[in-house]
Amino acid sequence: MADKNILIGVTGGIAAYKVVEVASRLKKSGANVKVIMTKHATEFITPKTFQEITNNAVSVDLFADAANFNVAHISLADFADLILIAPATANFLAKMAHGIADDLLTTTILAFDKKILLAPSMNTKMFENPATQANLNILKARGVQILEPASGNLACGTVGKGRLPEPAEICEEIEKIFAPKVLSGKKILVTAGGTVEAIDPVRYIGNRSSGRMGYEIAKSAVKNGAEVTLISGKAEIEPPNGLKHFVKVESALEMRNEVLKEFETADAVIMSAAVADYRVKTPAAQKIKKSSDNLTLELVKNPDILRELGTLKKNQVLVGFAAETQNVLDYANKKLVEKNLNFIVANDVTLEGAGFGVSTNIASIIWRDGSVENFSKMSKAELAEKIVQRLSKALNQ
């Protein structure tokens, strides 16, 4: 981790002693390490210890240097490529989640806009308390990375979740953050959710897509360093953090327009959206009133966006999905070839734990050379990570 500037925030928990080893390991790996301690942290361990280990002055007090107090937090925030908070107490999490800045560490964090890794450590009940969990969720939603506490004997005499992970594990996580990302420098376009085809101003033809699979793919691509545009139809969830663009669309025609705008400059497109194959020929301008016993809607075919991309493609990698209810591999293989894709993710949506609305999926990836990878049931987040790894392979072929 040579040339990396790491700021460690130590808050007032018994696990503060373990963080001495974290600082030492980071220093040995070549990082420049500075430490801010909260006042309570100094009850557990002295600033002198960290000072000796890091070869840098340790800061505790926001007002220590009266002449400079208003720059200390800014300069420490500017210094750091990453802030690690370990151990992070429940009180600290609550303050951070709500933007309270009443000491040097909380103030520095407010002035910091890069990566933060939090390692909470506390009594199990405090960790599991809805207040703590709500605060962690707020922080996660803001893109703060949380290192889950380990389970084991706690200083308070109980056994449960709340231990600070071992120093080696914390350092490994930091190494991962700084490791070159597989999609770094790549522009990836992801579509997700279901299109909505108007019948009249009130009704529409939709489908069961929740958007989860595509949103997880976008999230994983962001995590792997890509510049991600997510074009989404109707979805049940919030878009992930860190997207370059988020474009909300309704119909297949709108989705096609937005996709075509981005296609030329994209390195890859993953079409996970459930695009309606047909739309109502002439949606009614006013709400259709109930009259005769039967109502016939005339539908016309929507453009097949992915097939069109397949004809336009130059160097772009194209990935499609095939959600099937029978003959999964045959149908998927046909789509792979006909739409000129690099690979296709196929799944049988009738299986339990796969398909629409659930958080897991059971999928296969089929490649152009005929090879097939069958995955067992896994979370959509895990499958997204696998798809992104395959995408990186295809981009490098």
**Footprint of ligand CTP (CB under 6 A):** 252, 271, 273, 275, 277, 302, 304-306, 320-323, 335
The CB-of-236 to ligand CTP minimum distance in angstroms stands at 18
The CB-of-203 to ligand CTP minimum distance in angstroms stands at 20
Residue among 120 and 211 whose Cβ is closer to ligand CTP: 211
Residue among 230 and 305 whose Cβ is closer to ligand CTP: 305
The CB-of-345 to ligand CTP minimum distance in angstroms stands at 8
CA 227 vs CA 200, 224, 378: distances in Å = 37, 9, 26
Residue among 267 and 277 whose Cβ is closer to ligand CTP: 277
The CB-of-351 to ligand CTP minimum distance in angstroms stands at 16
The CB-of-29 to ligand CTP minimum distance in angstroms stands at 43
Instruction: Indicate which residue of 64, 74, 134, 156 is catalytic.
Output: 156
Among all chains, which residue has been given the structure tokens 């994209």?
Answer: 266
The CB-of-26 to ligand CTP minimum distance in angstroms stands at 44
Angle at 240 between CA 235 and CA 245, to 5 degrees: 90
Q: What's the DSSP call for residue 130?
A: H
| Cα-Cα-Cα-Cα dihedral sign, residues 248, 253, 255, 261 | negative
Please give the Cα distance from 37 to 54 (Å, whole number).
13
Please give the Cα distance from 162 to 151 (Å, whole number).
6
Among all chains, which residue has been given the structure tokens 């790549």?
Answer: 186
Half-sphere exposure (Cβ direction) of 172: Cα atoms closer than 13 Å: 6
Rounded to 5 degrees, what are φ and ψ at 353?
90, 15
Residue among 87 and 355 whose Cβ is closer to ligand CTP: 355
Q: Find the helix packing angle between 47-54 and 16-28, rounded to 10°.
A: 10
Nearest to 208 by CA among 175, 174, 233, 177: 233
Residue among 85 and 271 whose Cβ is closer to ligand CTP: 271
Strand 360-361 to 245-248 pairing:
unpaired
Nearest to 271 by CA among 224, 340, 173: 340
* 144: helix, strand or coil: coil
Residue among 282 and 326 whose Cβ is closer to ligand CTP: 326
The CB-of-223 to ligand CTP minimum distance in angstroms stands at 22
Verify whether residue 171 is a known catalytic residue. Answer: no
* CA distance between the termini of the chain: 29
Structure-token pair, residue 351: 């299986």
Structure-token pair, residue 293: 């016993």
Rounded to 5 degrees, what are φ and ψ at 209?
-65, 135
Amino acid at 282: T
The set of residues, in sequence order, having a beta carbon less than 8 Å from that of 194 and lying 6+ positions away, is 206, 207, 208, 209, 211, 233, 234, 235, 273, 274, 276
Residue among 170 and 189 whose Cβ is closer to ligand CTP: 189
Give the catalytic positions in this structure: 156
